[in-house]
Amino acid sequence: MGSIGGEGLAQWEKAEEGDGGGGKEDERILVSVRLRPLNARELERNDPSDWECINNTTVIFKNCLPDRSMYPAAYTFDRVFGFKCNTRDVYEECAKEVALSVVSGINATIFAYGQTSSGKTYTMTGITEYSVADIYDYIKRHEEREFILKFSAMEIYNEAVRDLLSTDTSPLRLLDDPERGTIVEKLTEETLRDQNHLKELLSLCEAQRQIGETSLNEMSSRSHQILRLTIESCTREFVNRNSSSTLAATVNFVDLAGSERASQALSAGTRLKEGCHINRSLLTLGTVIRKLSKGRNGHIPYRDSKLTRILQSSLGGNARTAIICTMSPARSHVEQSRNTLLFASCAKQVVTNAQVNVVMSDKALVKHLQRELARLESELRYPGSASCTSHFETLRDKDAQIEKMEQEIKELIQQRDLAQSRLDDLLRAVGDDGASRQWDEMSQPSISHEQDTPEDVCSISGTSGIAYQSPDIGSTRSFAPHENCNLNEPHVELSNELDKEQDISSRDSISSSTFSGMILQHRRDKTFDDHCREVQCVQIHTLSTSKSEDFNLPLTEGSDKVPSQAELASGEMLENSVSQFSDSRPSMEQPMKSTTKIFDDVVKPCLNESTPCSAMPIMTSGESALTRSRNCEGSLITTSASFFSEDAEQHHKTPHSDLSNEFPVSHNGFPTRTTEFDNDGKIEAHSLEESQNLEKVSSHVVEAQNTMIVREEYITNISNNFSEVVQMDRRQHPAELPLEQMNQQEQVQEYEIDRTVKDAGIDSVLCSAESSSRWLFDFERKQHEIIELWHTCNVSLVHRTYFFLLFKGDPADSFYMEVEHRRLSFLGNTSSQGHFDIVATNNSHNVMISSSLRYLRREREMLYKQMHKLSPEQRITLYTRWGIALDSKQRRLQLARCVWTKTDMVHIRESASLVAKLIGLLEQGQALKEMFGLSFTPQQTSRRYFSWKHRKFA
Ligand SMILES: Nc1ncnc2c1ncn2[C@@H]1O[C@H](COP(=O)(O)OP(=O)(O)OP(=O)(O)O)[C@@H](O)[C@H]1O
Closest residue by Cα to atom 3, ligand 1, is 36
Local confidence band at 541 (pLDDT 50, 70, 90 cut-offs): very low
Local confidence band at 130 (pLDDT 50, 70, 90 cut-offs): very high
Residue 64 confidence (pLDDT): 59
CA gap 595, 587 in Å, rounded: 19
Closest residue by Cα to atom 25, ligand 1, is 116
Say if residues 604 and 611 touch (Cβ distance below 8 Å).
yes
Nearest to 764 by CA among 753, 775, 754: 775
Local confidence band at 935 (pLDDT 50, 70, 90 cut-offs): very low
Residue 17 confidence (pLDDT): 37
Nearest to 154 by CA among 119, 113, 205: 205
Residue partners of 122: CB distance under 8 A and separation at least 6? 36, 87, 326
Of 167-181, 495-509, 922-936, where does the model show the most confidence? 167-181
Which residue out of 85, 87, 121, 336 has the highest number of ligand 1 atoms within 8 Å of its CB and is therefore the one to mutate? 121
Helices (H), 678-767: 694-706, 708-732, 739-759, 762-767
Q: Which residue has the higher pLDDT, 467 or 274?
A: 274
What ranges do the domains of the chain cover? 82-360, 363-393, 422-953
Mean residue pLDDT of the chain comes to 65
Digit-coded pLDDT (tens) for 287-299: 898 888 888 778 8
Q: How many CA atoms lie within 13 A of 808 on its CB side?
A: 35
Residue partners of 708: CB distance under 8 A and separation at least 6? 766
- The yes-or-no verdict on residue 800 having pLDDT over 60 is yes
Q: Can you say which residues are annotated as belonging to the binding site for ATP?
A: 114-121
Say if residues 917 and 877 touch (Cβ distance below 8 Å).
no
In this structure, what DSSP letter does residue 876 have?
H
Q: How far is CA 940 from CA 520, 627, 701, 832, in A?
A: 17, 18, 32, 35
Closest residue by Cα to atom 15, ligand 1, is 119
- The yes-or-no verdict on residue 348 having pLDDT over 60 is yes
Report the phi/psi class of residue 157: left, alpha or beta, with left for phi > 0 and alpha for psi in -120 to 50.
beta
Local confidence band at 244 (pLDDT 50, 70, 90 cut-offs): low
Residue 81 confidence (pLDDT): 93
Query: Average of pLDDT values for 354-375?
Result: 79
In this structure, what DSSP letter does residue 419 have?
H
Local confidence band at 97 (pLDDT 50, 70, 90 cut-offs): very high
Query: Average of pLDDT values for 5-18?
Result: 33
CA gap 90, 219 in Å, rounded: 22
- The yes-or-no verdict on residue 88 having pLDDT over 90 is yes
Atom in ligand 1 nearest the alpha carbon of residue 257: 25
Nearest to 820 by CA among 796, 802, 803: 803
CA gap 655, 671 in Å, rounded: 16
Atom in ligand 1 nearest the alpha carbon of residue 86: 1
Query: Average of pLDDT values for 77-105?
Result: 92
User: E-strand spans in 54-180?
Assistant: 58-61, 74-76, 79-81, 108-114, 145-157, 160-163, 174-177
- Helix (H) or strand (E) segment spanning residue 309: helix 306-310
Give the three-state DSSP class for 927: coil
CA gap 75, 12 in Å, rounded: 8
CB of 209 shorter than 6 A to ligand 1: no
Nearest to 536 by CA among 165, 262, 766, 797: 797
- The yes-or-no verdict on residue 605 having pLDDT over 80 is no
Say if residues 572 and 700 touch (Cβ distance below 8 Å).
no
Q: Which residue has the higher pLDDT, 497 or 853?
A: 853
Is the full-model pTM beyond 0.90? no
- The yes-or-no verdict on residue 830 having pLDDT over 80 is no
ipTM tops the 0.95 cut: yes
Local confidence band at 129 (pLDDT 50, 70, 90 cut-offs): very high
- Ligand 1 centroid distance, CA of 38 (Å): 10
Local confidence band at 383 (pLDDT 50, 70, 90 cut-offs): low
- The yes-or-no verdict on residue 137 having pLDDT over 90 is yes
CA gap 473, 346 in Å, rounded: 115
Say if residues 60 and 73 touch (Cβ distance below 8 Å).
yes
Residue 938 confidence (pLDDT): 40
Residue 357 confidence (pLDDT): 81
Atom in ligand 1 nearest the alpha carbon of residue 214: 26
Nearest to 542 by CA among 627, 618, 482: 618
Query: Average of pLDDT values for 460-473?
Result: 34
- The yes-or-no verdict on residue 790 having pLDDT over 60 is yes
- Helix (H) or strand (E) segment spanning residue 224: strand 224-235
Query: Average of pLDDT values for 577-606?
Result: 39
Q: Which residue has the higher pLDDT, 113 or 159?
A: 113
Q: How far is CA 283 from CA 107, 180, 279, in A?
A: 24, 25, 6
CA gap 439, 160 in Å, rounded: 123
Q: How many CA atoms lie within 13 A of 205 on its CB side?
A: 30
Please spell the DSSP secondary structure of 351-370, one letter per residue: BP---B-EEE-HHHHHHHHH
CB of 221 shorter than 6 A to ligand 1: yes
Which residue out of 217, 222, 223 has the highest number of ligand 1 atoms within 8 Å of its CB and is therefore the one to mutate? 217
Local confidence band at 551 (pLDDT 50, 70, 90 cut-offs): very low
CA gap 534, 798 in Å, rounded: 10
Closest residue by Cα to atom 16, ligand 1, is 119
Give the three-state DSSP class for 283: helix
CB of 122 shorter than 6 A to ligand 1: yes
Q: How far is CA 631 from CA 639, 810, 927, in A?
A: 20, 9, 12
Strands 30-35 and 320-327 come out as parallel
Give the homologous superfamily in CATH for domain 82-360.
Answer: Kinesin motor domain (3.40.850.10)
Beta bridge partners of 160: 157
Helices (H), 507-563: 528-535, 545-551, 553-556
Atom in ligand 1 nearest the alpha carbon of residue 211: 27
Residue partners of 70: CB distance under 8 A and separation at least 6? 6, 7
Residue partners of 268: CB distance under 8 A and separation at least 6? none
Report the phi/psi class of residue 428: left, alpha or beta, with left for phi > 0 and alpha for psi in -120 to 50.
alpha
Q: Which residue has the higher pLDDT, 319 or 710?
A: 319
Q: Which residue has the higher pLDDT, 150 or 828?
A: 150
Residue 826 confidence (pLDDT): 81
CA gap 190, 196 in Å, rounded: 13
Closest residue by Cα to atom 23, ligand 1, is 117
Say if residues 4 and 74 touch (Cβ distance below 8 Å).
yes
Q: How far is CA 144 from CA 20, 150, 357, 511, in A?
A: 40, 19, 19, 106
Query: Average of pLDDT values for 638-664?
Result: 37
Local confidence band at 65 (pLDDT 50, 70, 90 cut-offs): low
Q: Which of 39-48, 351-360, 456-465 has the lowest mean pLDDT?
A: 456-465
